[in-house]
A and B are shown apart, each in its own frame.
Chain A
């Protein structure tokens, strides 16, 4: 097990300088999720318009993996349609299973591929993505 597999430089950069950290306007879709095994929590906010995610921000508490994952997710999801966003969430699940997937145009996420060698940490990485999925599925209902 190599720590460098897990804590790639990109990950630490997102952890130290989280993108889209904060809150959106009151009318944004808000999804709160926590990781009951460790107490980490995330509040994800999505601004949506006609089946499109126009903006995303997050707040909450978590480890380097969960916060950097949220930072990357909010970056990549902006401007995506609901279907595209769900597709990305599926891709992220594949990444966590150790499958080789590419995030064209947004390669930062691929740095999280090392998490699959640390099974105990997969839940950290998927927390924000689960929030995204939940938020979009709510909108589609």
Chain B
């Protein structure tokens, strides 16, 4: 992978922040965009825009082709069987809420179980809390090991014949853990439950094959994988989606409307009420082209190498606590620097042009498990370099020094 050539394609990276070249280590929150994605969106608005699935004029069909073309790209990117198994949403959060509201609320009843983990992002936790509250189903957590991972034996024990839904993240946005979702899906299916995968952190970095995983639903966001904000998708198996009722009603999703009764279009349209996020879907398609050109396996390897390097360099710093296991981690490292509050760490790094995330990372229950109120996180993507990790370490040394005599 030619990092210099890749970096060249990201206009935002070539600027100074607070007098220093930008070191962007916050891609797990949102990645930057290559020129090709920015251009695709511009070109769409300059040449092709109109509403979709409505007009019979030329622009109407260009826009429709662009939008549906993007759906086909997503389907093949995830190796879905059919394009109609892809529903465009605003992102992971809306996609997971769609499964919770349209599937789980109608399936769960008192005595049923929904099984998740304590490492879930709020987006894959609160919707299930709400389903449990609304239906009387029980929310159950697979117990975590001290390093934050879980064992398949514990998954076997937690998932029972009462389980209707198992939901879990593929990659933890705090611990960097890659969960064995394929194995868990098999356990879920043996017990008659559906498997929901939060793919927000996996889709940007690794080859994803929803048929190989045999998950029933898979959610992801475009903005974390070089695409625009406001677009993401839900993959669902056709047999399941076809039985689900829409949760938003109005234009575009209807088939026939009478005064007191109406019918819906087929999937995926019945879940896409209103004018869809056309330009951003086009941008997502361009992001997929870009990522595939680089190669998902290459990206996966690169981000893992950077994370492993960062893990080792951080371990050498006295007073640093790193969260999550050392082995097999995806491209991020979450840590704390002695007594220095992560906010203060992030602010000092910012003055050096280094962007990292500080806070609870939308994982408050996981923070509680780790016994901290917040942490700092450096997350890597295909445009990051080892040299940037070195800059991070230098910034942290400076932070230590600064707070060392300020508060030590």
Q: C-beta contact mask, B350-372 vs A, less than 8 Å → 1, else 0?
A: 11000000111000100100000
Contact of A38 among B18, B343, B350 (CB under 8 A): B343
**Is B193 an interface residue, CB under 8 A from the partner?**
no
Contact of B344 among A16, A39, A41, A64 (CB under 8 A): A64
Question: Would A39 and B374 be within 8 Å (CB), given that A1-B350, A7-B406 are in contact?
Answer: yes
Interface centre among A1, A12, A120, by most B CB within 10 Å?
A1
A120 to B17, CA, bound (A): 15
Q: Interface residue tally of chain B, by bracket?
A: 20 to 34
A3–B343 CB distance below 8 A: no
**Is A75 an interface residue, CB under 8 A from the partner?**
no
Tally the A-B contacts, defined by beta carbons under 8 Å: 53
A7 to B358, CA, bound (A): 18
Nearest B residue to A37, CB-CB: B359
Give the interface SS of chain B, mostly helix, strand, loop or mixed.
helix
A41 to B350, CA, bound (A): 23
- Chain B residues with Cβ below 8 Å from A6 are 347
Q: C-beta contact mask, B17-34 vs A, less than 8 Å → 1, else 0?
A: 010000000000000000
A12–B406 CB distance below 8 A: yes
**Is A61 an interface residue, CB under 8 A from the partner?**
yes
Q: C-beta contact mask, A103-131 vs B, less than 8 Å → 1, else 0?
A: 00000000000000010110010000000
**Is B45 an interface residue, CB under 8 A from the partner?**
no
**Is B155 an interface residue, CB under 8 A from the partner?**
no
A64–B341 CB distance below 8 A: yes
B406–A62 CB distance below 8 A: no
B374–A7 CB distance below 8 A: no
Minimal beta-carbon separation of B123 from chain A (angstroms): 14
Using CB atoms and an 8 Å cutoff, list the residues of chain B in contact with chain A. Answer: 18, 341-344, 347-348, 350-351, 358-360, 364, 367, 373-374, 402-403, 406-407
Using CB atoms and an 8 Å cutoff, list the residues of chain A in contact with chain B. Answer: 1-3, 6-7, 12, 15-16, 37-41, 61-66, 118, 120-121, 124
